[in-house]
Chain A
Amino acid sequence: MDIKEKVKEFVTKYIQEDDLGYDVNFFEGGFVNSLFAMQLVMFIEREFEIQVDNSDLNITNFDTINHIVALIEGKKAS
């Protein structure tokens, strides 16, 4: 499974939208609560073996599937 699919699988565990678009903002859409933010960080760190730092903690890095994928790819590349 590629990064995008793994992220989608995790996110749709919490947001049970049958066809959640890759650019849907789930924080603005009220799909998730603030606790989800930390669950997401833990998932990303464990699944992709990267460390999310303070400098990464911008909501815009985590609010859509595409943004999360970009964060992971950026961190893996660096």
Chain B
Amino acid sequence: MASLLGRFCRKLVVPGSAHGSRMISTTACDSEAVKSLNLYSAINQALHIALETDPRSYVFGEDVGFGGVFRCTTGLAERFGKNRVFNTPLCEQGIVGFGIGLAAMGNRAVVEIQFADYIYPAFDQIVNEAAKFRYRSGNQFNCGGLTIRAPYGAVGHGGHYHSQSPEAFFCHVPGIKVVIPRSPREAKGLLLSSIRDPNPVVFFEPKWLYRQAVEEVPEHDYMIPLSQAEVIREGNDITLVGWGAQLTVMEQACLDAEKEGISCELIDLKTLLPWDKETVEASVKKTGRLLISHEAPVTGGFGAEISATILERCFLKLEAPVSRVCGLDTPFPLVFEPFYMPTKNKASSSSSLSSPLKKKHYLIMGLHVWCRYWMQSSPLLITSHSICFFR
């Protein structure tokens, strides 16, 4: 029941001024014209700008000619012609391979895979061809102009093959970049950066937010830098890291936690590969606790990578084990979707965030842990630990 309520919380997303939580933003300046757009319109605008600014850029995929199944490519074929925006037959491996070839000749190929669930026939092309082209040719050739766009994530009724989050598979491949926007404004800037980035990029769009998320998006051409995470909410007690649609859920969890006096720091990773370790590290060193949340199954999900890296870098600053609130280790279910999803209630009740985070407990626990280390570590370390105690 609680998890069902958590589901409903995702339905109405109005980021921006309504929450008052978008405090730090490095995007467009406020004097430029803005328009209230949803996610698919923002992406559409980005594609229009990309095709306009580079005459050697092309958009293709299944059904993109009439606007695509999510309306992301509306108006492109009419404006730029059927030679630059065209449909392909139903063959993902062919589509991506084709895109790699086009990019290898110095063009920008923006390829659409209709649903991320269908990206697997193209997996070989992405991993073995796109990611390694520059490397194996000694920098003679590259397919940096390739951008693969795919809608990913749960949508409420998608079932096994319209809801998957395959980002973890791609994060394991050096040579490509993986980018996931959280909102319309981010999507437009990140997509333009991805298209113009001289490396092949896999760009996952949270399909849940295509219509649901509405935001003020600047109308001009702007880019948001890749591999830079953003702290979208400042806090002191715990760091929450996420990406894409999951951030809206985590924001709800933060608001709930605030009512109990827990101040949460929320970070949007934006780029998963290569990811911004410094920002997360700095945040965890401040708060001492980390919670990662994503829709994909927990085992082997990208949260594991973040957890391991933060552990390496911030072990002595951590006051609790890194927590992962993720999808279950099952195929994405049909009727059981509400149980599977990492809802805000699961996030709130996870051991890092819930249960009295009283300072006293920190101290007692901290003392116990550090005492053990004190036995083995040098006198210098003791001093730094004792500073830690009296936060």
Is B one of A's binding partners?
A: no
